[in-house]
Amino acid sequence: MKPEILMMGPMMPHVEAALDAAYTVHRLYKTDDKDGLLAEAGPRIRGIATDGGLGASADLMARLPALEIVSCYGVGVDAIDLAHAGKQGVTVTNTPDVLNDDVANMAVALVLATSRTLVANDTYLRQGRWVNDGAPPLARSIRGRKVGILGLGRIGKDIAEKLQVFGCEIVYHGRSKQDVSYEYFDDLTAMASAVDFLIAICPGGPATNGIVNAAVLNALGPEGTFINVARGSVHDEAALVSALQSGALGMAGLDVFAAEPSVPDALLTMDNVVLQPHQGSGTVETRRAMGDLVIENLHRHFTGEPVKTPVT
């Protein structure tokens, strides 16, 4: 008999096909009667396939007494209750490393798009203003600018390497100093006041909730740019909007938001922001590699092998 698993949301076709071939898949997102599905199939469900946004709550896991594994399509596991999973003896896996390159590229793209006013200039041209008003104001170079990385982990290190090629100076903040050549700041606000760009790429969750607050944004200042490719929970979104409106903060490049897919209306009309609908890992190649890891972790678990990428 095939193991039974719960799928929290739609996945790439190759992932769904592989999971359908190996398991009896219950698609929670496809039914209006979620309680009914969980009451009927819950006692037999041994695995969950989810993603970084949908996660797996303590309440859900508690309703699945036979649950053994949660396989997450994404590296960030802030939406999975890890403490509860540990207590219930549930293994959690994620998709580290395979997405570093593309998420780092998104951070670099947002640095370039903000500094070179790429989106505002595109609109300027399309609106006929080049013809009518002449050339737009000059943008800013990134060579020689200082970039502060909040979270110098797998992706943060990749961002640092890439931006050095553009001539940026890299510094970082995290809970601990690492064995790297970049300058370390033990205080986030102090780092913000020392840099031109602040890039958030730390995990979401209670420990980082709102740590990019009004004080940090004010320290970054009117000439500063905030880039967030981490989680929307990391910034205080009301403070961010207000700092951008008042000019206390210069610009922002945002791939993530507090209440996705909803984005504050105020941001939609600002020309000092560049916005992305959470597409850091959103390439065919990277999403395929992430999907392969979701499949492989479940497969290894259900054939008695150690999972490939456990969350520790």
Decide if 197 contacts 148 (C-beta within 8 A): yes
Instruction: Summarize as ranges the residues that interact with ligand 8YV (CB under 6 A).
Output: 51-53, 73-76, 99, 278, 280-281
In the window 242-261, what residues touch ligand NAP (CB under 6 A)? 255-256
The answer to whether 260 is a known catalytic residue is: yes
The rounded distance, in Å, linking the Cα atoms of 174 and 41 is 43
Whose structure tokens read 């943060």?
156
Catalytic residue, candidates 26, 278, 287, 301: 278
Site string for ligand NAP, 122-161 (x = CB under 6 A): -----------------------------xxxxxx-----
Return the bridge partners of 69, or none. Answer: 47, 91
CB of 149 to ligand NAP, least distance (A): 8
Tokens of 236: 């205080």
* Cα 298 to the center of its chain, rounded Å: 23
CB of 202 to ligand NAP, least distance (A): 4
Nearer to ligand NAP, 5 or 56 (CB): 56
The answer to whether 126 is a known catalytic residue is: no
Among 42, 47, 55, 96, contact with ligand NAP (rule: CB under 6 A): 96
CB of 51 to ligand 8YV, least distance (A): 4
CB of 68 to ligand 8YV, least distance (A): 21
Alpha helices in the chain (DSSP H): 13-22, 34-41, 58-62, 82-88, 100-115, 118-126, 129-133, 154-165, 188-194, 214-220, 237-246, 265-268, 284-302
Catalytic residue, candidates 231, 235, 287, 301: 231
Whose structure tokens read 């100076």?
169
Tokens of 276: 């992305």
Stretch that binds ligand NAP, among 81-89, 190-198, 199-207, 235-243 (CB under 6 A): 199-207
**Closest to 41 (Cα-Cα) out of 27, 20, 53:** 27
**Closest to 234 (Cα-Cα) out of 264, 262, 255:** 255
The answer to whether 285 is a known catalytic residue is: no
Tell me if 286 contacts ligand NAP by CB under 6 A: no
Decide if 227 contacts 253 (C-beta within 8 A): yes
Tokens of 99: 């997405």
The rounded distance, in Å, linking the Cα atoms of 136 and 299 is 55
Catalytic residue, candidates 40, 161, 223, 260: 260
Decide if 217 contacts 239 (C-beta within 8 A): yes
Percent composition of the chain: helix, strand, coil (DSSP 3-state, to 5): 40, 20, 40
Residue 207 interacts with, from ligand NAP, ligand 8YV, none (CB under 5-8 Å by kind): ligand NAP
Residue in the shown chain whose Cβ atom is closest to ligand NAP: 153
Among 42, 47, 76, 253, contact with ligand NAP (rule: CB under 6 A): 76
Residue in the shown chain whose Cβ atom is closest to ligand 8YV: 74
Nearer to ligand 8YV, 247 or 277 (CB): 277
Nearer to ligand NAP, 47 or 76 (CB): 76
Residue 151 interacts with, from ligand 8YV, ligand NAP, none (CB under 5-8 Å by kind): ligand NAP
Handedness of CA 224, 230, 231, 234 (dihedral sign): negative
Q: Which residues are catalytic?
A: 231, 260, 278
By CB under 6 A, name the binding residues for ligand NAP.
Answer: 75-76, 96, 99, 103, 151-156, 174-176, 201-204, 207-208, 229-231, 255-256, 278, 280-281
